[in-house]
Amino acid sequence: MKPALKKFIFTHKKISIASAVFLLLLIFHFCYVHLIPYNALNEFLGRKNSVTIYDRNMRLIQVTSVDDGVRRQYTPLKDIPSEIKAAFIKAEDNRFYDHGGVDYRALLRALKQNTSEMRTVSGASTITMQLARMVSPSARRSLMAKIKDVYNSWRIECRLSKEQILEAYLNSVPFGNNVEGVTSAARYYFNRELTELSQEEIYSLAVIPRNPSRYNPLNSPEHCARAASLLCDKSAEEIEGQLKKITAFEWPFYMPHYVVYLKKHYGEDFGRKITELHLGADLNAHEYIQFQIYTYMEKLHHSRIENAAALAIDNETGAVIVWTGGKNWFDDEHSGQIDGVLVPNQMGSSMKPFLYALALDRGMKTTEVIPDIPMDFGSDEVYMPLNFNNRFNGPVIMRNALASSLNVPAVYTLSKVGVQNYYQCLLKLGFDSLKEGGIRADLGLALGGGEVTLKELVTAFSVFPRDGKYIPLTYEEGEECNPDEVRQIYRPDSARIICSILSDKKARIMGFGFSQTFQTSYPSIFKTGTANQYQNIVALGATDRYTVGVWMGNHSGNTVMGKTGSSVPATIARELLDFLTDKKAGDFKLPENYKRTKVCAVSGMAANSSCPNVTEEFVMKEELESFCKEKCSWHSVKNGKLETVYPAEYQKWVSGDFKNTRIDYSSSPLKIVSPKNNAHFYADDTRNQYQKITVEVTGGASSQEQLEVVIDGGKAQFVERPFIFNIPVRRGKHKLNVTLGEESDVIEFDVE
Ligand SMILES: [Zn+2]
């Protein structure tokens, strides 16, 4: 081989090895930059941002913080004013649109400068490199870190457009003081929207990221102004003069419980898809009611009522207007951060309207007489409700039973409607807590024995002014509720009758006397409830437009002292309605298929001239004629004196404290009304010798006055009318026979 050829081959071999290595490097570079997924970038771009929350009047409720208290609001590039984009490009990276991630000219210059001054390499970072450092931070600023930034900038530049890079940068560049991105910085340092910034402010903003503590316009306006003046044609004095006018801004922190709820409600979208919320809430109303709650509770502090909550919604849209979860978020001693709107509690009588509306739907007449007398219910377990004032009112109609919140009539009505039917109705009304809690669906449901939340209660109560229709809550202004969740719970007429009863100030007298609490200058309905020895006190109110609810009690489980302050929630509920209604509200609609007529409030029959207590009641139009024909048969005037004839089941009640009354025993067959057949009793050993079972027998057509009583086939004993007597408690199964003339009745019961 000729040496020349050899040399040629050798040289080419060298060249080909070199080019192979070069090629490999190139491939590696290409792969690293272009092909290997840049997960950190995806994660960075998908980070959660702050959510800016406004009320219906564009008042700022909160800018939520992301991790570690950082505020970082996101503004799409198209909404960032071009002056701001230009200012940041000028301040940080003049040739941003001309380089591919690295500005070599600037890098060389910086390298020369820095090495000659014996410092570590700094400066010359393009916007892309700064973004790269945010995406993949390095612990130290070293040459290796700089090389890493360069590489990551290339990776970013081949994945994102210049516009996307600028958008990501402007929305995440740190400004110190837990603020990131231009939007939050404009808010924090200047208390302005981006579009409101002056030219001086824009250039001041643009220099802060260089050194947030040195260029903080609040603390060092002179430094900030000097740096900004180099970027624009304003003098440092001019800029400083403007900066000195700024008043410090604090991030608002209103409706904290509600914001926590919304975070949970929107889930993963909160801070990602959703970065701005315009709520239907009214911050003015919230502040007003927060103040009321605070003031009243300070007065009540001796009664151990530690927590309170209020909720107000718009009936038409279901929009939340007020959501006040507690007295004081920062009160750690009394679990201030627990949201009282969402805590399940026994809400007592406030549940009763749901029961009576169902009874109306299922055919119960408004004029039906409901007994308010001592009664026990159920056969397996004896259930004997008392009214809250331990008084019984005898025969009542629904209007008085509901408005005065009587307990026995509610349990009686539930036993007629059926526990399961009512339970299903409550689930349809959105009382999910009853499902989750797995409560015992029993007659206690009539008195609000299940635990439900204020949110559920207010939403359900709003079906009454809404003609029986349920709609779910909505949160954003103008938001339309999910049509799949809208459902007609009650007939419109049933809901309208309930509204008529709950707005009837006269009908409440039996239970509450005349109360100023419910006096409003506009049509309104109210219902209150207490449970667990006043541990929970709740008041619901509504106009045709708004529904409100106020709860008071404590999360600690401490008993509340006595009755103190039990009318306070009602007072606050009324104040809230006053505030929202501005003293104006429409009338509630009247039931279409009913007509009002004069009714005896005792017998529920068409009133005659001697009835002592006459009320106006709705009677179905088609039944009106026959109803009016049959006048009240209980009341009559004899020898100038009013005489009342009650049906047999009222004998025990009448024997209490009434004169000029007579019991019509012959109207019903002989019956042991108490105890019920198959009743269980529990013997109490500690007071055995005093314990007795009271037996009550009604009816019996015979003129004979002596009732024959036989227990367990033993010796007969005789009792006179009224047939109410006691028998001793003995353990075991027992059989009780009673006989009067031709009639007899028998029951079995046992004592454990
Ligand atoms: Zn009458």
pLDDT digits (tens, 9 = 90+) for 280-318: 999 999 999 999 999 988 888 777 788 899 999 999 999
Tell me how far the alpha carbon of residue 716 lies from the centroid of ligand 1, in angstroms.
40
Predicted local distance difference test score (pLDDT) of residue 123: 60
Which pLDDT band, with edges at 50, 70 and 90, does 140 fall under? Answer: confident
Average pLDDT, the chain: 86
Q: How confident is the model at residue 708 (pLDDT cuts 50, 70, 90)?
A: confident
How far separated are the first and last CA of the chain, in Å rounded?
121
Q: What is the Cα–Cα distance from 361 to 95, expressed in whole angstroms?
A: 76
Give me the pLDDT at residue 688, please.
39
Candidates 96, 85, 100; CA nearest to 127 is 96
Q: How far is the CA of 36 from the centre of ligand 1 (A)?
A: 91
Distance 732 CA to ligand 1 centre (A): 46
Give me the pLDDT at residue 651, please.
77
Ligand 1: distance of its center to the CA of 368 in Å? 13
Q: How many angstroms separate the alpha carbon of residue 600 from the centre of ligand 1?
A: 4
What region, left, alpha or beta, does residue 123 occupy, with left being phi > 0 and alpha being psi -120 to 50 degrees?
left
Distance 632 CA to ligand 1 centre (A): 5
For residues 231-251, give the mean pLDDT.
90
State which H helix or E strand residue 711 sits in. Answer: strand 706-711
Ligand 1 centroid distance, CA of 372 (Å): 17
Position 378 scores a pLDDT of 52
Helix, strand, or coil (residue 167) = helix
**CA-CA distance, 597 to 396, in Å (whole number)?**
17
Check whether 701 has a pLDDT greater than 80: no
Output the pLDDT for position 383: 52
Q: Is residue 439 scored above 60 in pLDDT?
A: no
Give the pLDDT of residue 8.
Answer: 66
| pLDDT value at 382 more than 80 | no
Ligand 1 centroid distance, CA of 595 (Å):
19
* Predicted pLDDT at 512: 59
Contact by Cβ (8 Å): 215, 208: yes
Q: Which residue from 573, 583, 580 is spatially nearest to 292, judged by alpha carbons? A: 573
At which residue do the structure tokens 């509200």 appear?
585
Backbone angles phi, psi at 85, to 5 degrees: -55, -45
Q: Let me know how many helices (H) and strands (E) the chain has, helices first.
A: 24, 27
Maximum alpha-carbon separation in the chain: 155
Residue pair 341/454 in contact by the 8 Å Cβ criterion: yes
Contacts of 275 (CB under 8 A, 6+ apart): 49, 50, 51, 52, 73, 74
Distance CA 1, CA 7 (A): 10
Residue with the bigger pLDDT between 88 and 651: it is 88
More confident call, 229 vs 5: 229
Cα(606) to centroid(ligand 1), Å:
8
Q: What is the mean pLDDT of residues 593-615?
A: 93
Judged against a pLDDT cut of 80, whether residue 438 lies above it is answered with no
Provide the percentage of residues in the chain whose pLDDT is more than 90: 52
Determine the distance separating the centroid of ligand 1 and the alpha carbon of 609, expressed in angstroms. Answer: 8
pLDDT band of residue 119 (cuts 50, 70, 90) is very low
Tell me the C-alpha distance between 268 and 637, whole Å.
74
Ordered strands of the 276-278 beta sheet: 60-63, 52-54, 276-278
Indicate the DSSP class of residue 31. I
b/e burial code for range 598-636 (CB count within 10 A of at least 16 → b): ebbbbbbbbbbebbeebbebbbeeeebeebeeebbebbb
Q: Which helix (H) or strand (E) holds 407?
A: helix 407-417
Query: How far from chain centre, in Å, is Cα 175?
Result: 37
Using the predicted structure, report yes or no on whether residue 509 has a pLDDT greater than 70. no
User: 137: cis peptide before it, omega within 30°?
Assistant: no
**DSSP E strand stretches across 592-668:** 594-600, 614-620, 635-638, 641-647, 661-664
Cα 255 to middle of ligand 1, angstroms: 53
Look up tokens 């505020």; give the residue.
71
Query: Ligand 1 centroid vs 510 CA: distance in angstroms?
Result: 17
| Sign of the Cα pseudo-torsion (618, 619, 624, 630, in order) | negative
Q: List, as ranges, residues with CB under 5 A of the ion ligand 1.
A: 600, 603, 611, 632, 634-635
* Residue 107, CB-side half-sphere exposure with 13 Å CA sphere: 13
The amino acid at 326 = G
**What is the Å distance from ligand 1's center to 604 Cα?**
7
Sign of CA dihedral 294, 298, 302, 303: negative
CB-count burial class (<10 Å; 0-12, 13-18, 19+) for 433? buried
What's the CA-to-centroid distance between 639 and ligand 1, angstroms?
Answer: 17
pLDDT of residue 381: 46
Q: Which amino acid is at 246?
A: I
Residue whose token pair is 């009112």:
393
Least Cα distance to 668 among 656, 651, 654 occurs for 651
Report the sign of the C-alpha dihedral through residues 253, 259, 263, 269, in that order. negative
CA of 608 to the centre of ligand 1 (A): 6
Q: Containing H/E element for 5?
A: helix 3-30
Run of H or E residues at 224: helix 221-229
Cα 509 to averaged position of ligand 1 atoms, centre (Å): 19
Closest CA to 596 of 608, 585, 607, 609: 607
pLDDT (average), residues 404-410: 86
335 contacts: CB under 8 Å, gap ≥ 6: 307, 555, 556
In the reported structure, the alpha carbon of residue 398 is separated from the centroid of ligand 1 by a whole-number distance in angstroms of 15
| Upstream peptide bond of 722 is cis (omega within 30 degrees of 0) | yes
602 C-alpha to ligand 1 centroid (Å):
6
- The Å distance, Cα 322 to ligand 1 centre, comes to 46
Residue pLDDT, tens place only, 75-113: 999 999 999 999 999 998 888 998 888 888 877 777 776
Q: pLDDT tens digit string along 11-29?
A: 777 778 888 888 888 888 7
Dig out the tokens for 126 from the structure. Answer: 């393009």
Q: How far is the CA of 367 from the centre of ligand 1 (A)?
A: 12
Residue 533, pLDDT score: 63
pTM of the model: 0.81
Distance from the alpha carbon of residue 397 to the mean position of ligand 1, in angstroms: 12
HEC sequence for 51-96:
CEEECCCCCEEEECCEHHHEECCCCCHHHCCHHHHHHHHHHHCCCC
Neighbours of 662 (CB within 10 A): 11
CB-based contact 261:342 (threshold 8 Å):
yes
User: What distance in angstroms lies between residue 278's CA and the mean position of ligand 1's atoms?
Assistant: 57
